[in-house]
Chain A
């Protein structure tokens, strides 16, 4: 589990990489405020021990 040292830098990098480069500072801050909650939600799933060796529910069939 990683703890970003600069949430805003991380969020701006992710938004820019996705092509969302025209957002205002106010719009970016909405995501900066949400990011810790989003990150916690994902990190919680890595912490469920029963999932460690589970297969994802996205198995592709070539048939």
Chain B
């Protein structure tokens, strides 16, 4: 990897107080939707970090902020210690896009139906690695297809998307990302549109790419079981804020935030003994439009105290490398 030595100590991505609000309502409305508030996260080399949360919790907004689709309202994204917001030149922009590419949720909508598979992969190679000769590009494309499990590669390069299954299309999505020689792939719900029986294959692929090529992943999902399957670290989001983060197994074994506890108890698991809670917890979406001070989970929280409605809880370290944003948790 052609990385400058000085930057090696810095994590690939670090965010500082990352915040994104959206204006809602009519032209004169002053209301704003707090999609992401004060998120500090770090993604280092060779690790898979899962960002877990329900729909509307801000997890996709984070991916888009990292991919520079949105500009942050406040806060910074740092790539190897450099502020992403200060990228000005086309070359720097391309370079960042190549190092931190994105794989999308919908493999049916994210590949153009009129081009062969080769088109997308070759285009990424031409754009991001202009030093390669035509013959070297061909070779590289074949190598990449092999590494995402599409063999024989020549045959797949000549196919159109309609000839591929959902799982194969998603592998093409990863192949296009790999063509840029990425350090970190932002994978936004990459398996949620796939059939249950082929999801595991794509998760295994992420794991293989990390092990064999040292690529990091931000795996965004609502499915905590699949997050556990691949991720080293888990970040649980609730209503635009990080509720809890830590090593995957530690968070699952010792969930500190009441939301994480609720989430874990709701996961259907055929291997678990049948236990039906006495009452059905009413799940209402949290208020993210002008939420004000206080914990955003307090309306649903069984342990809420007065302090929760006046002071926004900050992340506190409760176990080694494991933090939760809760006034009550110990």
Question: Do the two chains belong together in a single complex?
Answer: no
Please give the residue numbers on chain B whose beta carbons come within 8 Å of chain A beta carbons, in ascending order: none
